[in-house]
Structure 1
Amino acid sequence: MPLSNIEIIHQDAAILVINKPTLLLSVPGRADDNKDCLITRLQEHGFPEARIVHRLDWETSGLILLARDADSHRELSRQFHDRETEKAYTALCWGEPELDSGRIELPLRYDPPTKPRHVVDHELGRHALTFWRVLERCGHYSRVELTPITGRSHQLRVHMLSIGHPLLGDRLYAPEQALAAHERLCLHASMLAFSHPQTGERLRFDCPAPF
């Protein structure tokens, strides 16, 4: 598959910053029909050395960082592990939160009977923390900024569902009205900040949501 709908935000000798489109895997899936993905497209079209540092869900669009050599990959992976990076997402959620901002601290775990869903589980779940704030109130939905402190799978989607404001177009978690309110999952990685793995310079990238 070509790179036609993949926007390269930044590239240098050590890193690539990509605006991943929705409905594209970050890495290959297990099934044969899930081999098409961001990393494969990049490796086959000009960036054979590209290495994934972190992932975005299939339906989530926005900023994703890749390394171009082993040392850079090691350093960027360390920054993500040690929570030295900064991330923010733009989302549309169902309804209008009573407050203008808040925090959600609920433990999450994978739920095999309903795979690939995740659930809140106070006994077996792993710690997860999200900050949120309202950017715009639009009647039956709101535009929000979501800042994950931890990086659990489906964290933002499950956390917003847990406070009664599921994301629009979320096929896994949204009830009927919220699902029908938009044709895609309204979750976009809109800001990413980290230290350059070679120079140490602090870099920040912003990418407005397409919804």
Structure 2
Amino acid sequence: MPLNHTISSLEDVVLRPDLPLHTESERPTVFTTVELEPSGDWESVERAFSEDETVGDAHVMTDSGRKRIYRIDFDRSAMTDFPTKAANMGIHLLELWNDGTVWAARLRAVDQSYLSEFGSYCNEVGAELSIRRLYLPDSAEAMNTALPTAILTEAQWEAMVEAFDAGYFDEPRTASLSEVGERLGISASAVGRRIRRGTATMIEYLMSEHRGSLRR
């Protein structure tokens, strides 16, 4: 995958490549948003890019402190083109980001057989594909989660629901980040990142939707 070395060596950054990923050319270029956690630093990011065999060049386009947009020129010969392969198999890539040290994505397929075919391809090239959740477009669950999944990543929503169920948001708090992480099978720091980003995104969304009525 593009940037596989970068995400596997940096746990305190989040990368979000622009979609769709145009990776079929000999030297594909993708604009990628990179967000730093408080513990991260740009020197580590630049070093990871320089060591990543899938990266030809990485140039900073905008810099707003803890967030940058990079123009990344990939070396197509050094990577397996999963996004294009998925598209050719009838799978629509909706969102792509790194979840800790692995890639995570939201996909849309006509039916489950498309995912099965893509899973077989992943096995052939030595990649592991893990499907966390499936939704039917007309299911009650999909309708009930339409708003949060539209503005949050699946990982953020899952972490916030798990934290709520565990009692992390109770007063007094009855569960720690470590305990929530154990339930999800991830680290406490990863849970904290997802909850902070998810909370900030939901507050920003609600404020933008209701700012006018609040001022009245």
TM-score by length of 1: 0.29
Q: Which has the higher contact order (CA 8 A, sep 6+)?
A: 1
Q: Which has the higher strand share?
A: 1
Larger gyration radius, structure 1 or structure 2: 2
